[in-house]
Amino acid sequence: MNNKSFSIANVIKYAGAFVACAIGSGFATGQEIMQFFSGQGIMSVVGTIVTTVIFAWVGGMFMKHGQEMQMENPNEISEFYFGKKFGKFFSIVFQVFLYGVYVIMIAGAGATLSEYFGLNPLVGRVGMALLAFITVIFGLSKITDVLGGLGTVIIVFAVGVGIYSFLSNMDGLAQASSVIPTLAITKTQGGWLWSSILYPGFNAIVVMFLTTSMGKTANSPKEALWGGVLGGVLFGAAILTMNLGIMANIGAVYSKAVPTLVLASRISPIFATIFSVIICCGIYTTTVPMLWGNVRMFAEDGTKKAVLIAAGLTALGLVLGMTSFKTLVNIIYPVSGYIGVVLFGFIAVRNHQLNKQMKAKNEETETEVAFEEEKAV
């Protein structure tokens, strides 16, 4: 691997995969954005900027560290950040949470198809579970290619819906600050600033294993770093536009399980149908890495053991996914956000230690070169 190689195409691919992994059902349906941002009022616009900065930093660190340390296994990644003493404990905690996110994705697929097409929620749940299972048994390299392509498509559509919904109802945004306090919106507690920190907190756990593993395949730490940073910025831009769109139409969407479909239907019925498919793609792109992370914890890609574990987790996920989508988002995500905030501290410490080691190594190399030059003279 050439450590000096840098490909813009790879940076974009990694950024797309990062976005695809982070989006999921909560973002694509608008439910996360409404609970963490729109429901907090007009100051949530500032909150999206805070969130974007954190996402860019987290994405860059995960991919850079993955490339530098060549990590892939979830246990390796946990031990790298938390040390051997706490690594195994946090690895278990993260895997339990990731499986909880997987269950939320299954529930989100059912809610999306039910709310727009009137289908039995079981149809969406079973369909999504089977698609994720089939993809996971192909291994990480295939997953990265699939997610990288879909991530770009999803982000374009999501930003498009947000911008149109915002620009077509500017008066609604102007009235949002007075309307939102009067509505019974399901939202996170603690205010706009804390919500803007918790949101990337739980998402950091969601993307940690896959993005660090993807970073391993980058040509250089620089390429990995910028792939993660760009992914964080793109995701932040999508959050901002979606937040503006939802706030501008808050009265019509606050009680819906899938607010973005209401916004899309205002553009046109045909577009809403297309966007419902895009939402399902967004759910799929998070369902897959969540299931992969749990399977990879116990078995290598492509083995019979991996297939059997994936099948068992899929079946259990279908049973647990019968819970209300909105309720799952409101309970699991905020709680995991606190764990994510703790993770931020460990990331910063580990990055500082790596930088010190790198500096010491460079100084040692420079000293050796100077000594050899003196010796030659």
In a domain, 85, yes or no: yes
pLDDT bracket for residue 206 (50, 70, 90):
confident
Question: What is the pLDDT averaged over residues 215-238?
Answer: 91
Tell me the mean pLDDT in the region 304-318. 93
Most confident of 47-61, 98-112, 181-195: 47-61
**140-167 pLDDT per residue, tens:** 556 666 666 676 777 788 788 889 998 9
| Integer Cα distance of 350 and 358 in angstroms | 12
Q: What is the C-alpha to C-alpha distance for residues 72 and 69, in angstroms, rounded to an integer?
A: 9
Q: Assess if residue 161 is contained within a domain.
A: yes
Lowest mean pLDDT: which of 77-81, 196-200, 229-233? 77-81
**Amino acid (1-letter code) at residue 78:** S
Confidence of residue 19 (pLDDT cuts 50, 70, 90): confident
Q: What pTM did the predictor assign?
A: 0.79
pLDDT value at residue 46: 96
Total count of domains within the chain: 1
In a domain, 202, yes or no: yes
Q: Which residues contact 205 (CB under 8 A, 6 or more apart)?
A: 94, 97, 98, 336, 339, 340, 343
Q: Indicate whether 164 belongs to any domain.
A: yes
Look at residue 1 in the predicted model and tell me its pLDDT: 45
Tokens encoding 11: 């940076």
Q: For the domain that residue 243 is a member of, what is the CATH number? A: 1.20.1740.10
The candidate with the shortest Cα–Cα distance to 120, out of 109, 129, 130, is 109
Residue range of the domain that includes 40: 8-376
Mean local confidence (pLDDT), 218-234: 92
pLDDT of residue 141: 57
1 in a structural domain: no
- Tell whether 212 is covered by a domain: yes
Query: Is 3 a member of any domain?
Result: no
